Amino acid sequence: MKMGFRWYGDGNDTVTLDHIRQIPGVETIVWSLHHKQAGEAWSQEEIDAEVARITTIPAEARERGVTRTFDAEVVESVNVHESIKVGKRVLGMDRDEAIENYAATLERLARAGVKVVTYNFMPVFDWLRTDLWHPLPDGSTALFYEQAVVDRMDPAKAADAVLSGAAELTLPGWEPERMARLPEIAAAYEGVTHDDMYAHYEYFLDAVVPVCDEFGISLAVHPDDPPFDVFGWPRVVSTKEDLARVLALNDSPRHGLALCLGSFSANEGADAVDAVVTFMDRIHFSHVRNIKHLGGGDFTEVAHRACEGDVDTVGIMRAYAEAGYTGYLRPDHGRHLWDENTTHRPRPGYGLYDRALGIQYLLGVWDAVRAALPEAPAAR
Ligand code: DNO
Ligand code: MN
């Protein structure tokens, strides 16, 4: 297993590479070119520059004796253009053009040494929460989802609020440029069924998976978050059955999962450990985090420790250890702690402290369960 940490890039994240360097166990920086729009091809120059930024120790740090390096083997995400998901021209782009750009990006990332590219296949928006700074009993704050708020929410009105500056919405996919075109995107989804989405997904995979096979890079789909339809748009990567159906769309091992156990577990009764065991040979990357169900589909994110919530993070790490998992893994969202609630605000869910604590917990469990295996492998 290789431990990763998601980083939004210089000047685009309150967390720095120097901070991450001091978290024991992190080997891989999970990165992206966040200024790129879905559908745009990434240039080799921009990719190489970002990889160099991540993998090179700045001279100033070297002079202080810093020797610890990272690799840049995981990208999260290269976003899929809406035309690919709806299977027709939208936002001024045909799906074949978007697919061509996606394939070119994959080839260039492979040339730069990237091994895994994460993406999602959610209609319109990425992950959704109704409160980004929900107070927890310990005084920290966390991401929070309340179904009644979503039921009351009209995305068109939310778009107006974002555009007028009245909304404090910093969710991915809710950027003003995108919200301005929401009516066009929503219209493109009219009549698109779950089955249509799978058919469009297969068309996409047929085109890009051969590129992955040729250049030695893997695609890893992140489950829907939350794992059920929102605003009436069809989500197709939500449940265990969905994951099996998605994987069956293309048999190449290069088509696999970024199995986010926090997202997957938001459906009450979803068995995260069973998902790990079932899909093990197609898991390239995994997000391990904890949530607590509050009934009626509501949930709050909590600390990574198993007993803090409803996700069996110990069972998950044990399942990975028993299978000899060699893929990438990262903590996912964390709570916002200490001065993250007062003097500075990180990106919601992506502060430094709780993710660092989460990593130490996950690695502690990992080391313990591995040491208890019948043939204890060397620590790593
Ligand atoms: C949430 C993340 C997701 C994920 C994308 C993958 O924090 O896990 O935003 O990066 O859905 O494309
Ligand atoms: Mn995730």
| Residue positions counted in the chain | 380
Residue 200 within any structural domain of the chain: yes
Residue 21 lies in a domain: yes
What distance in angstroms lies between residue 192's CA and the mean position of ligand 2's atoms? 25
CA of 75 to the centre of ligand 1 (A): 11
- Tell me the best of 118, 264, 265, 335 to mutate to test the pocket of ligand 1, counting ligand atoms within 8 Å of each CB and taking the most: 118
Query: Which string of DSSP letters, residue by residue, matches 184-211?
Result: HHHHHHTT--HHHHHHHHHHHHHHHHHH
CB-CB contact of 23 with 5 (8 Å) = yes
Q: Residue 376: its pLDDT value, please?
A: 66
Nearest Cα residue to 46 out of 55, 62, 56, 33: 33
Instruction: Give the domain CATH number at 193.
Output: 3.20.20.150
- Asked whether the CA dihedral 283, 284, 289, 294 is positive or negative, the reply is negative
pLDDT value of position 157 = 80
Count: domains in the chain? 1
Which pLDDT belongs to residue 168?
61
Quick one: which atom of ligand 1 is closest to the CA of 120? 12
Q: What is the DSSP letter of 37?
A: P
Q: In what order do the strands lie in the sheet with 290-295?
A: 131-135, 141-145, 298-302, 290-295
Q: Residue 83 domain-assigned? A: yes
pLDDT on residue 380: 60
Residue 169 confidence (pLDDT): 55
Under 8 Å CB-to-CB from 59, ≥6 apart: which residues? none
Residue ranges in the chain whose pLDDT is less than 50: none
| pTM, 2 dp | 0.97
SS3 labels along 68-123: CCCEEEEEECCCCCHHHHHCCCECCECHHHHHHHHHHHHHHHHHCCCCEEEEECCC
Residue 217: what residue type?
I
pLDDT computed for residue 275 by the predictor = 98
In a domain? residue 380: no
| Host domain of residue 200 | 2-372
Q: Is residue 161 part of a domain?
A: yes
pLDDT at residue 173 in the model:
73
Residue 379 included in any domain = no
Distance CA(301)–CA(291), nearest Å, equals: 4
Encoded amino acid at 79, one letter: N
Residue 378, domain member (yes or no): no
Is residue 377 a part of any domain in this protein? no
Predicted local distance difference test score (pLDDT) of residue 104 = 98
ipTM of the complex: 0.94
